[in-house]
A and B are shown apart, each in its own frame.
Chain A
Amino acid sequence: MISFAKRRFYASATLVVCIALAVLADYGLRQSLRPAAICSGVLLFAVILLLACFNMRKRLTFLPTLSASTWMQIHVYVGWFSIAAFLIHAGVHQTQGTLELALAILFWLVALSGVWGLYMTRAFPAQLRMEGENVIFERIPSMRARLRRQSEEVIMESIEKTESTALADIYEKRIRDFFDGPRDILSHALGSRKAPHTFLAEIEDTYRYLSEDERAFMATLTDHVRIKQNLDYQWVRQGMLKLWLFIHIPLTYGLILTAAAHGLIAWRFAG
């Protein structure tokens, strides 16, 4: 089995060779006064179509075409190549006209969302694993609700056993709202631990005011808070992994349509 490092090396080397060939071909065409822009434009459009095919391939599960992981590799490296092809085609000069501007903006949005997606798909999984228990995204809301129910049961039990409402008061004022829905969304999205830590520290501060029995109940509650924080983290991060595709894919279709319009106009003018 080929290691990831080796695979990355071979694929990167192939990418560099392909980019060099494309640059040379474009240079050659320009030198021989051939329609280099049309050639690079057609190449770029073909490359974008090939990239878009990946999404189609994912749906056609029965097709004995290459595996999705091979498609993914092709998608990533052809994606990098498309940036080079775009620079060859459009150059770094300023674009002319609204359509070209829209096309350039769309292309860079698709490319950047792709790069962001690639970063997330490589970096997030390990972070998700290390943060806490692995949970299925769709189950998070029900797990959250269950946790809230269990926490309330702890409070009821504490009132019954300790004959004091101190814990219930703290719960009502500080914790109840926390269990209602996802919290610290921005912190989790940015990977900052500050807000969750602060919240836990605030809860731990209340220990000094509790009796020994109440402290035991509070410890269970603190565990629930930790579990809930992991649920929130998983929800935000897994959500981000799902959400970016809803940006990347529609933008790609927009890009294809705009590029097709641009091609048609260019062809008419060339004709």
Chain B
Amino acid sequence: MPLTVQPDTSGTQFIRVNRAMEGDEPFWKLAATGLPRETTEVDVDRLLEERTFEMILKEIDDRISEKKARLEKNKGRDLNEDELGKLEDTRNEEVDSLRKILLDHARIRDFAYDEIVVRVGDYGSSAFLLLTGSVRVLQVVDPKKLGRQTSRRPSLWGAFKRWLTRPRIPERRSRVRVNEADLFASAETQVEEPRYRDELEESKTIVRVSRPSASRWGDDDALSKSTVFRQSGEWIGEMAALSRHPRTATVVADHQEGEETTLMEIRWQGLYALRNRWSNFKRQIDYKYRERGLAAHLQTTSLFRHVESEELDSGRFKNAITFQSYGDFDWNFSYEEIREMNPQERLQSEPLIAGAGHYPNGVYIIRAGFARLSHSYNKGERTISYLGKDKVFGLEEAFESLATKHPVPFRHSLRAIGYVDVLFVPLWIIDKYVFQNESVRAELESEMEEFEVENDIHADGLEGLKTDFLEFLVENRYINGTEAMLIDMDRCTRCDDCVRACASTHDNNPRFLRHGPIEDRFMVANACMHCIDPVCLIGCPTGAIHRVTADGRVVINDLTCVGCATCANNCPYDNIRMVYPRDASGSIYYGEDNTLPIQKATKCDLCGDQVTGPACVNACPHDAMIRADMMDVPSLVDWLKR
């Protein structure tokens, strides 16, 4: 369980302030551009007329009717007025909760022609519902045109000033919640407001143009290959929002002259709330998630990058490829339990996607999540490698089968670690679009791993990672990290220069613990890994914890954090600490509403505001520390074997 930092409060003055509360910051207040536009009851009335929400209302009515029928059956008579009134109240409560979700988590946004709704590559934390006008989905856009922002670094002067004025008291804050004045300041002022920078960047428009004769996103030919959605009620970006993955396409507003494009944007907390509460909504959204995920994803894979998009979008293709999900979407809740298991039990808990010895009639492409590649060894399984997004399983066997015209069995097994989305591509598609295409085949063959893995537990796994270390990374799911903190314990002198550097750049309190499990001679320290699948984001009631669009860091907006510790409890790696902020005199901020002190969640922010990058790594004098991307195995092996 995450630690709650319990500062010594003896002799401390308390100052009472308004506590930042859940629902304090409805989504509309975090205006994407310009002044915030409030989501009103009238807006909600309008939204409830959309088919998506009509279906929810229908589900509510159906539930009430079912309940009524059940009650009448039990009682053997019609319900009286009182009882009907109670049922009506229940219905109203359900409808009110739907309205509240929309009021808190949705906002209405108008888009100019050609304005970007979502950008490919951005980490999605919200979905859009088309209300009026139309939008165009562009699969390929020149990144320059998208005005990709590189992560902003402050000036050296700024870093110096911060260093000079670093607090002596840990966790000093001048404010603990957002001021109304900030929210209603002009758009320009908001852009300057650093606390809002990330949210603003997330959906900031690049250029607004009046209706042009041609789109700036490409010529007619390019545009003709893109999809246009004209119907209101279309969902956009729900896949990225639900899977917490980067957007797969760019979507721009594309209405006719005299029209307007208006969309409802709902943050993913709202999307989850709707999905968990009403099965009609879940069915709708999951269907689209699967349907749209397929074509969009295929175009980004090494296997099908060269195939025309019409071909990929064709029914033949779509119907032949299956979209499968394995494991548990909320894997973080079973993480501790699974870690306690012995290796055999753990293996049993991982759903088998494809078994060694099975004859493949296709290949698997990992769409999201992680899978374990293993080989049986005596009574157990020896892990050889782990596969992440876009990795293909079974291609060598497929090529061999096609070349020899004899089926070749899988040499390894593929198991789901946590939650995995995979695409199963049948052999005939591989044959037609990959194997028959000389240049693509040659390219893929040159990229293929040498699969001659010795069946010896002492031999290295694929890509040179030692088997024990590999098992350790997989079993503890550290493979989720893009910035995992590894410490070489044979070089680390325990000098704590890293800890001091982190504290001196972060409110005089380090954002990590130089402590954690050790395998071989390497420690995975308790520092946020900025995960591929950041489960800590799930359930934050205010969206205070989020991904920074530009560089994928997972950060916490201190002012909108309500201190509920949902993120800290969700992080399976125990990398979020709750702290008590203090004012300049050292007094703990204390809620006016009750007797509890105000808490804030804190974690490593990868020193996004430091000119030097991660201060911890920069401060280690003994080359003992690295922030490692676990999917970049060659670089990891390079570091491990220095």
Tell me if B490 and A125 are in contact (CB < 8 A): yes
Q: A67 to B619, alpha carbons, bound, how many Å?
A: 6
A71 and B621 CA atoms in complex are apart in Å by 7
CA distance A4 to B491 in the complex (A): 11
Q: Which residues of B contact A60 (CB under 8 A)?
A: 163
A124 to B622, CA, bound (A): 13
Name which residue of chain B comes closest to A241, CB basis.
B493
- Given the interface pairs A72-B622, A125-B491, A129-B518, the reply to whether A58 lies near B497 with Cβ below 8 Å is yes
> Assuming the A-B contacts A68-B621, A69-B621, A128-B494, are A61 and B642 also in contact, with contact meaning beta carbons closer than 8 angstroms in the complex?
no
A125, B156: Cβ atoms closer than 8 Å: no
Chain A residues lying within 8 Å of B204, measured Cβ to Cβ, are none
Residues of B within 8 A of A71 (CB): 621
A69 touches B620 (CB 8 A): yes
Contact at B612–A1, with CB atoms within 8 Å? no
List residues 502-524 of chain B with CB under 8 A from any CB of chain A: 504-505, 514-515, 518, 521, 523
Q: Beta-carbon contacts of B159-171 to A below 8 Å, as 1s and 0s?
A: 1101100000000
Residue of A nearest to B613 (CB): A64
Q: Given A63-B612, A68-B618, is A242 in contact with B623 using a C-beta cutoff of 8 Å?
A: no
Residue of A1, A58, A69, A136 near B638 (CB, 8 A) is A1
Least CB distance from A128 to B in Å reads 7
Give the chain B neighbours of A3 by CB distance below 8 A: 641-642
Are A72 and B621 within 8 A (Cβ)? yes
Q: Are B521 and A126 in contact (CB under 8 A)?
A: yes
Instruction: Please give the number of chain A residues whose Cβ is less than 8 angstroms from any Cβ of chain B in the complex.
Output: 28
Whether the Cβ atoms of A62 and B159 lie closer than 8 Å is yes
Measured between alpha carbons, how far is A144 from B159 in the docked complex, in Å?
40
Cβ of B489 within 8 Å of any chain A Cβ, yes or no, is: yes
Is the CB of B116 closer than 8 A to any CB of chain A? Answer: no
User: Closest CB-CB distance, A196 to chain B, in whole Å?
Assistant: 21
A129–B495 touching, CB < 8 Å:
no
Cα separation A134 to B518 with both chains bound (whole Å):
9
- In chain B between 466 and 512, which residues have their CB closer than 8 angstroms to a CB of chain A? 489-497, 500-501, 504-505
Taking the nearest CB of chain A, how far is it from the CB of B496, in angstroms?
8
Which chain B residues (376-423) contact chain A, with CB distance < 8 Å?
Answer: none
Q: Report the Cα distance A137→B615, complex, angstroms.
A: 22
| Segment 195-244 of A: residues with Cβ below 8 Å from B | 238, 241-242
Complex Cα gap A2–B623 (Å)? 12
Bound-complex Cα distance A3 to B639 (A): 9
A121 on the interface (CB 8 Å rule)? Answer: yes
Is B604 part of the contact surface with A, judged by Cβ < 8 Å? Answer: no
A66 to B639, CA, bound (A): 19
B625 to chain A, nearest CB (A): 9
Nearest-Cβ distance from residue A94 to partner chain B, whole angstroms:
37
Compute how far the CA of A72 lies from the CA of B492 in the bound complex, rounded to whole angstroms. 13
Q: Which residues of A contact B156 (CB under 8 A)?
A: 62-64
Q: How far is the CA of A79 from the CA of B638 in the complex (A)?
A: 29
Residue of B nearest to A54 (CB): B621
Contact A64 to B497, CB < 8 A, known contacts A69-B622, A71-B621, A136-B515: no
Q: Are A241 and B494 in contact (CB under 8 A)?
A: yes
B144-160 at interface with A (beta carbon < 8 Å): 156, 159-160
**Least CB distance, A54 to chain B, in whole angstroms:** 8
Asked if B610 CB lies within 8 Å of chain A CBs, one says yes
CB <8 Å contact, B493 and A121: yes
Task: Determine whether the beta carbon of A121 is less than 8 Å from that of B622.
Answer: yes
Q: Does the CB pair A69–B642 fall under 8 Å?
A: no
State the CA gap A12–B243 with chains docked (Å). 52
Check if B618 sits within 8 Å of A136, measured CB to CB: no
Q: Is the CB of A1 within 8 A of B162?
A: no
State whether the Cβ of B617 lies closer than 8 Å to any Cβ in chain A.
Answer: yes
Measured between beta carbons, the chain B residues less than 8 angstroms from A136 are 494, 514-515
Contact A124 B515, beta carbon cutoff 8 Å: no
Query: A137 to B492, alpha carbons, bound, how many Å?
Result: 13
Q: Which residues of A contact B504 (CB under 8 A)?
A: 61
Task: Return B508 CB to nearest CB of chain A, in Å.
Answer: 12
B520 CB to closest chain A CB (Å) equals 10
B621 touches A124 (CB 8 A): no
Residues of B within 8 A of A129 (CB): 489-490, 518, 521
Cα–Cα distance between A60 and B164 once the two chains are bound (Å): 10
With known contacts A125-B490, A134-B515, A134-B518, A64–B622 Cβ distance under 8 A: no
- Write out the residue numbers on chain A whose beta carbons fall within 8 Å of the beta carbon of B620: 67-69
* Any A CB within 8 A of the CB of B223: no
Q: B631 within 8 Å of A by Cβ?
A: no
CB pair B490–A61 under 8 Å, yes or no, is no
Residue of B nearest to A117 (CB): B493
Partner of B610, one of A58, A62, A72: A62
Residue pair B639, A61 in contact (C-beta under 8 Å): no
Q: Is the CB of A126 within 8 A of B621?
A: no
Q: List residues of chain B with CB within 8 A of the CB of A125.
A: 489-494, 622, 624
Contacts of B496 in A (CB 8 A): 137
Cα A9 to Cα B553 in complex, Å, equals 38
Q: Which chain A residues lie closer than 8 Å to B641 at the CB level? A: 3
- Flag if B490 contacts A62 (CB, 8 Å): no
Q: Taking CB as reference atom, which chain A residue is nearest B500?
A: A61
Contact of B619 among A1, A58, A126 (CB under 8 A): A58
Q: Is the CB of B159 within 8 A of A68?
A: no
- Chain A residues whose CB sits within 8 angstroms of the CB of B356 once the complex forms: none
Report yes or no: A67 in contact with B505, Cβ–Cβ below 8 A: no
Among B492, B494, B505, B622, the one with the most A-chain Cβ atoms within 10 Å of its Cβ is B494
Given contacts A1-B638, A129-B521, contact A61 B493 (CB under 8 A): no
0 or 1 for each of A120-155: is its CB under 8 Å from B? (1 = yes): 110011101100001011000000000000000000
Name which residue of chain B comes closest to A234, CB basis. Answer: B494
- Is the Cβ of A61 less than 8 Å from the Cβ of B612? yes
- B611 on the A face (CB < 8 A): yes
CB interface residues, A 70-84, toward B, < 8 Å? 71-72
A61–B609 alpha-carbon span in the complex (Å): 13
Instruction: Kindly report which residue of chain B lies nearest to residue A136, judged by CB atoms.
Output: B515
| B598-636 contacts to A (CB < 8 Å) | 610-612, 615, 617-624, 635
- Residues of chain B within 8 A (CB-CB) of A242 are 495
Q: Are B494 and A238 in contact (CB under 8 A)?
A: yes
Contact A62 B619 (CB under 8 A): no
Q: How far is the CA of A239 from the CA of B368 in the complex (A)?
A: 47
Given the interface contacts A129-B518, A136-B514, does A62 sit within 8 Å of B163 by beta carbon?
Answer: yes
A-B residue pairs, 10 tightest by C-beta: A72-B621, A62-B159, A126-B490, A62-B163, A68-B621, A61-B501, A69-B623, A129-B489, A1-B638, A64-B611
Q: List 28 A-B contacts (CB under 8 A).
A: A1-B638, A2-B642, A3-B642, A61-B500, A61-B504, A61-B615, A62-B159, A62-B163, A62-B505, A62-B612, A67-B618, A67-B620, A68-B497, A68-B618, A69-B622, A72-B622, A121-B493, A121-B622, A124-B493, A125-B491, A125-B494, A126-B489, A126-B490, A128-B489, A134-B515, A134-B523, A238-B494, A241-B493
Q: Which residues of A contact B (CB under 8 A)?
A: 1-4, 58, 60-64, 67-69, 71-72, 120-121, 124-126, 128-129, 134, 136-137, 238, 241-242
